[in-house]
Amino acid sequence: MTLPRPTLRDHDALLHEDLVTPMHTHRDADSRLRVETPDGPRYVHAHEVDRLVAPQRPRTEVPDCEHVDGGPRRLSRRHVIQGASAGFGALLAAGAQPRYAFAAPQPAGSPAATATQRDLLVVVFLRGGMDGISAVAPINDPAYQAARGKTAVTAETSIPLDDTFALNKNLAAFQPLWDAKQLAIVHGAGSTTLKRSHFEDMNTVEQAAPAAMRSGWLGRHLQSSASTQGTFRAITIGNRAVLSLSTTAFETLATSTLDTFKVNGWNGDKSTDIMVSMVEKMFADAGGRAAAQCRQTMQAVAGLADVRAVPGDKYVPANGAVYPDTTFGYGLRDVARLAKAGKGLEVACVDLGDWDMHKGLGSPAVTTDWFSRKSIDLSTSIAAFAQDLGPMWARTTVVTMSEFGRRVQTNADLGVDHGHGNVMFVAGGGINGGQVYGSVPSLTPGNLVLGDVPVTTDYRQVLAEILTRRLLNADLATVLPGFTPGPALGIA
Amino acid sequence: MLSSLFSPMLSRRVLLGLPGVDPTPAPAASTGAAAAPAATPTAAPATSAVTSPATPAATSTPTPATTPPATTTPAPTPTARRATPTPSPSTSAHEAPTIPTRLTAGQVLAARCPTAPGLAPTTSAEWHVARRLAQMPNTALVAEIKAMGIGPWFEAQLLPETVPDPVWAAIEAKSFPWMSMTVSQQVAATGQEPWRCSPVLAQMLAVRPLYTKRVLQESMVELWSDQIYVARGGDLEMWVADFNHRVLRKHALGRFTDLLHAALTNPALLMYLNNDLNRKSGPNENLGRELLELYTVGVGNYTETDVVNSSIILTGHSIDWTTYDYSNAWWSHKTGPVRVMEFSHPNPPSKYDSQTSTAETNAALLKAYSDYLARHRKTAERIARRIAVRFVSDTPSAALVTHLADVYQQNDTAIVPVLRALFNHAEFAASAGLKWKRPLEHQGMLVAATRPKTFHPPYDFRVNPWWPGQLHDMIANAGQPLRMWPAVNGFPDVAAAWLSTASLLNGLNGTESEMEFWDESFDKVVWADALGVKAGMNVWAAADLIATTLTGFTWPRTHLAHIASYLAAHGDRPATDTDVVSADARRWYVPHVVRLVAMSPYAWMR
């Protein structure tokens, strides 16, 4: 049996990415599209949309589908307790899972760059596709104001950055970093190959390599920047390493939070300790790789015991820093705890999801609206992180990435659909900040590519400058294969 | 590039604009005739006899079993292989041939594991067979193998439709009816949200091994799912259950030619590797390359030109969005002579229209190419190796792989003779404990030990299908989110890939969930009852009983001492020879010891 097939009128348009690549691949179950048909509205999956579309290229100004959030979903307690996120979907779902990579301590007298000379790199992946022109808006561009209407950032709801761009005032926590020239912004950045599928485009930018490669750019960086392996070369928090960190050369460890990185058991009961000790003895007797792995795991657990000893909710950030009460804030707080503990932390990946704003982007004047809320979370967390690190901030770099930007024209639900060019924030003590790099033309329709902000700066250009200048890794051919850097922007 | 973004729309437009075209004539016919002759009882002994040089007297007359004393038999030797189990009455229904397994009933095998070389437990032949062929073996399965005899039980597993499976059938009917539907049936059954089937599939894959009696079929479904891998994320959510049912399960014990062709004409794979975008106007090489690299001959056996030609051959095989099934899109097939390795084909245009193929030539070319690749020697070796790695060891001998590849080719890619040859091989008999479990097998162990008979998930799948369940979560945390491996090459099946801090730590922690019955889908049991531990029992006897019941291995006294000490005194002192299990220890410590056993390295040996 098949679906009844409603007839669509010509130009009963859906959004062009739906014709090209089915969207909402992050959590299809929660994402449906409403299609207006002569028989009334119908909710369909993106795949079905392909079959329903009119054979014309749609006019994007006549959007007639909406994104319905929150399909029927309930979580049991067991589901949400530590580490119980549902497999791969967790990567794509809203929320933050910090992931850490540790480098081995370099042997004494090592001539190469050491972990302490390299910056700590924190990669913040804004999953879902952040709307760059709401974050850093060309407020004086009439085409921008016309396209965005009520959701547009204006002089009243922004902080001027230069003649062209202004910072959404919900990102005001970034202002001290900007003023201290420790925050650089790259506009019109993105991947030159794009499918507008969350799933595929996240893979693309995390691999940062031709599709035939099955490792991520951070994994290749760690592999090519140090030759030694320590007790644990890399650790990933979350039940699986973020793709950026994946490499076949060494392990990247995963756990959902720092506080739960241990063998679970009965709190305050010695039974767990007794059993773990017995298990350790049996694994030691087992010899071989089993023994080595158990030893390594237990050493990792023990190695972070001092960090866990002061649990996250008892940890007092330095310099009066206050992390927001969010998963992302806690993630960065965990990164700071690790960084300060001197474990040789070199790379940490923390996700901030829920940027897929097909409906109800909101007004920058309302702090509880969707984009405003996420912006406050993003900026206050990073600002608190910088403050908390104190002197270590001088050797820290934070970079934000997203799989794509959003369409310039809002849709009928005052949301924005999948687009292309986007903003990257690069913050750190060694960053040449206080400047918007890259370029964005006036957002008049003729300057747009399929209705989107064009990509004028390859995101790998930004990564390349961070790699060479802050991470002291010049082996770009390994880390970013197939990419030839252009003239330096001068970010780092 | 931008113009190419729009070509799929144009393709579907064309597709939608041709309502008169029969979308699937040829492939439907070929998959419809998929019953593999080698899987029938009558064909099996003949092929086995011809193609099993290692077992020249393969069709020996059943003789009364001469069971050696169970406690003294050493690891199997070439002379110990001929004892034949007595056929049990239950196998006569389908006249399964009695095969001369090298394993004898009750035989004690020395187990060893290169990953844990310091351990030297023993195990029984039945437990060895159960751990290898089933994903979640337990004492019930071992008893079943004992009752039937190893050889007859194995032969019955090769004909899964003859194995009664009422418990699973009832669960499937109640909780997983979507899993055997076509996509268009799923559309109707799910209220037009067929992507709801994806998490339900993950849940089914996690729990089916606990209940089914057709354990070898399930193992083969898993094996093929890694050979021709389709992830259930992203765009694939509405297709994967159908792929699992109509490709992997249907052909699990059939011929690889049929399996491969079914996969290449299933929307899931065509969508997964973008073959719906592979048209004469602009070939997409994704499927054409992986077909060679992953599914068949493997890297190093073809050139980049072969990849281009492989992709050209695959143009015009797409998805019909009306039927949600495969579409023979002959109008977008690229014609002209093609050559891939030694395969060549004129790939002619239609005589009526030089611009297009015909449905018939399009289908015939695909089938010829698919069969060529499936029958290729390099494919035979890769399939043989995968099967040997799954069921024997991470490093099967070249001789074993060569032998299995020979059998595969001599039987025109039929899998049953390959499995039979493997099962009869000395390397299988001598492989107890060599494998290291993947998370599915390890996390399923404790639930299986409760011998579950009912399944009552906390959420009705019709209302809330989104959570694949607590057991699946634990498997996923340990690194094996089912059908969610992020790359196209499927989950690895060697110990090295599963030895990681995250996998071990989450594996250890998952045992807490299973010991405590956090998964509400399964009945809780009193562990001491389930294991037969009684108050007043000697702690060493109880330790041996628990360890053996859960893992199937007989542990040495040095390691039983941990369990005995815990049962006797909460680990505070070593157990004496006369310590007994107290009523309190029975109640409080036995569950802890269950977890201790599940966290031990023996629990990972397979």
pLDDT at B218: 98
pLDDT in tens, B403-422: 999 999 999 999 999 999 99
**Three-class DSSP labels, A342-384:** CCCEEEEEEEECCCCCCCCCCCCCCCCCHHHHHHHHHHHHHHH
pLDDT at A351: 80
Asked if B1's CB is within 8 angstroms of A193's CB, the reply is yes
- Beta-ladder partners of A101: A347
Reported confidence tier of residue A247, pLDDT bands at 50, 70, 90 = low
Chain B residues within 8 A of A283 when measuring between CB atoms: 116, 600-601
Asked if A78's CB is within 8 angstroms of B470's CB, the reply is yes
Alpha-carbon distance of A307 to A344, in angstroms, equals 13
Rounded alpha-carbon distances, angstroms, from residue A326 to A98, A132, B419: 12, 22, 54
Reported confidence tier of residue A100, pLDDT bands at 50, 70, 90 = very low
Asked if B116's CB is within 8 angstroms of A286's CB, the reply is yes
pLDDT at A166: 97
Asked if B481's CB is within 8 angstroms of A240's CB, the reply is yes
The torsion angles phi and psi of B393, rounded to 5 degrees, stand at -165, 170
Position B76 pLDDT exceeds 70:
no
Alpha-carbon distance of B138 to B145, in angstroms, equals 11
Asked whether the beta carbons of A185 and A171 are under 8 A apart, the reply is: no
Among A50, A236, A301, which would you mutate to test the B interface (most chain B Cβ atoms within 10 Å of its Cβ)? A50
Chain A residues within 8 A of B114 when measuring between CB atoms: 288
Look at residue A469 and give its three-state secondary structure: helix
Is any Cβ of chain B less than 8 angstroms from the Cβ of A213?
no
Measured between CA atoms, how close is A74 to chain B, in angstroms?
A: 7
Is any Cβ of chain B less than 8 angstroms from the Cβ of A84?
yes
Alpha-carbon distance of B28 to B328, in angstroms, equals 10
pLDDT at A264: 86
Q: Based on the number of CB atoms within 10 Å of its own CB, is B524 exposed (0-12), middle (13-18) or buried (19 or more)?
A: exposed
Q: Which carries the bigger pLDDT value, residue B432 or residue A30?
A: B432
Position B58 pLDDT exceeds 80:
no
pLDDT at B97: 45
Reported confidence tier of residue A291, pLDDT bands at 50, 70, 90 = very high
Among B230, B501, B565, which would you mutate to test the A interface (most chain A Cβ atoms within 10 Å of its Cβ)? B501
Asked whether the beta carbons of B39 and B253 are under 8 A apart, the reply is: yes
Reported confidence tier of residue A478, pLDDT bands at 50, 70, 90 = confident
Closest residue in B to A232 (Cα–Cα) = B501
Chain A residues within 8 A of B195 when measuring between CB atoms: 28-29, 45, 47
Could you tell me which residues come within 8 angstroms of residue A445 by beta carbon, excluding any fewer than 6 positions away? A143, A451
Position A26 pLDDT exceeds 50:
no
Look at residue A401 and give its three-state secondary structure: strand
Closest residue in A to B436 (Cα–Cα) = A290
- Tell me which of B88-102, B141-155, B198-212, B511-525 is least confident: B88-102
List for chain B the helix, strand, coil content (%; round to 5): 55, 5, 40
pLDDT in tens, B244-289: 999 999 999 999 999 999 999 999 999 988 898 888 887 788 899 8
Chain B residues within 8 A of A8 when measuring between CB atoms: none
Question: Of the candidates B331, B278, B330, which has an alpha carbon nearest to the alpha carbon of residue B309?
Answer: B278
DSSP for B536-564, please give it. Answer: T-BHHHHHHHHHHHHHSEEPPHHHHHHHH
Alpha-carbon distance of B371 to A490, in angstroms, equals 56
Strands A183-190 and A435-438, how do they pair? Answer: parallel
Q: Which carries the bigger pLDDT value, residue A73 or residue B593?
A: B593
Chain B residues within 8 A of A261 when measuring between CB atoms: 505
- E strands, B454-550, are none
Measured between CA atoms, how close is B148 to chain A, in angstroms?
A: 34
pLDDT in tens, A375-386: 999 999 999 999
Rounded alpha-carbon distances, angstroms, from residue B481 to A90, A379, B317, B469, B513: 11, 33, 30, 12, 17
Average pLDDT of the segment spanning B461-478: 91
Length of chain A: 492
Asked if A55's CB is within 8 angstroms of B13's CB, the reply is yes
Position B33 pLDDT exceeds 50:
no
Mean pLDDT over all residues of chain B?
85
Helices H / strands E in chain B, number of each? 30, 7
Asked whether the beta carbons of A198 and A26 are under 8 A apart, the reply is: yes
Could you tell me which residues come within 8 angstroms of residue A488 by beta carbon, excluding any fewer than 6 positions away? A465
Asked whether the beta carbons of A417 and A406 are under 8 A apart, the reply is: yes
Is any Cβ of chain B less than 8 angstroms from the Cβ of A301?
yes
The torsion angles phi and psi of B541, rounded to 5 degrees, stand at -65, -40
Rounded alpha-carbon distances, angstroms, from residue A482 to A116, A209, A273, B326: 29, 7, 50, 36
- Tell me which of A14-23, A46-55, B40-49 is least confident: A14-23
Of B184, B500, B595, the CB nearest to A275: B595
Of B286, B464, B601, the CB nearest to A282: B601
> Six-digit token pair at A290?
């089993």
Chain B residues within 8 A of A57 when measuring between CB atoms: 6, 9
The torsion angles phi and psi of A378, rounded to 5 degrees, stand at -60, -50
Question: Of the candidates B375, B373, B386, which has an alpha carbon nearest to the alpha carbon of residue B422?
Answer: B386
Q: What is the DSSP letter of B89?
A: G
Task: Please identify among residues 46-75 of chain A the ones whose CB lies closer than 8 Å to any CB of chain B.
Answer: 47-48, 50-51, 53, 55, 57, 71-75
Asked whether the beta carbons of B125 and B104 are under 8 A apart, the reply is: yes
Asked whether the beta carbons of B141 and B215 are under 8 A apart, the reply is: yes
Position B474 pLDDT exceeds 50:
yes
Percent of residues, chain B, with pLDDT higher than 70: 83
Of B192, B196, B596, the CB nearest to A3: B192
Could you tell me which residues come within 8 angstroms of residue A267 by beta carbon, excluding any fewer than 6 positions away? none
> What is the sign of the dihedral through the CA atoms of B157, B159, B165 and B171?
positive
Reported confidence tier of residue B20, pLDDT bands at 50, 70, 90 = very low
Question: Taking every pair of C-alpha atoms in chain B, what is the biggest distance, in angstroms?
Answer: 92
Reported confidence tier of residue A116, pLDDT bands at 50, 70, 90 = low
Asked if A450's CB is within 8 angstroms of B2's CB, the reply is yes
Task: Please identify among residues 414-473 of chain A the ones whose CB lies closer than 8 Å to any CB of chain B.
Answer: 449-450
Reported confidence tier of residue B554, pLDDT bands at 50, 70, 90 = very high
Question: Of the candidates B197, B276, B275, which has an alpha carbon nearest to the alpha carbon of residue B239?
Answer: B197
**What is the ipTM for the molecules in this complex?**
0.84
User: Would you put residue B517 in left (φ > 0), alpha (ψ -120 to 50) or beta?
Assistant: left
pLDDT at B565: 98
Position A449 pLDDT exceeds 90:
no
pLDDT at A230: 43
Could you tell me which residues come within 8 angstroms of residue B265 by beta carbon, excluding any fewer than 6 positions away? B24, B27, B31, B317, B326, B366
pLDDT at A357: 86
pLDDT at A309: 87
Question: Of the candidates A442, A441, A483, which has an alpha carbon nearest to the alpha carbon of residue A462?
Answer: A483
